[in-house]
Amino acid sequence: MASMIIRNIPDDVLDRFKQRAKADGKSAEQLAREVIAEKGMPDRAELIRRIDAIRASSTRVSGVEIIDEIRRDRETSLGKDETGLADDR
């Protein structure tokens, strides 16, 4: 994991930050990690770009195709027990 040193934080800002951390039952370091992690998350626009890239690289499948695949799967598994072997009852 990476480390970071932050310099020139005004004393009053750091005092309030430490007070908030203490009120939350956390250390200032833990609260700082949480804030950095939250701010480091992708924004909405980045998420949409990622989703669009996945969609562009994926093949569209219709609902009918999905239902047909489920039916084929069910038909091939009929007569078989949990092990996949034919049930001779």
Boundaries of every domain in the chain: 11-41, 44-77
pTM score > 0.85 for this model?
no
Structure-block tokens of residue 87 = 């049930």
pLDDT at 78 over 90: no
pLDDT band at 75 (very low <50, low <70, confident <90, very high): confident
Q: What would the pLDDT profile of 20-34 be if each residue is shown by its tens digit?
A: 999 999 999 999 999
What's the CA angle centered on 50, arms 49 and 54, to 5 degrees? 115
Maximum C-alpha span of the chain:
80
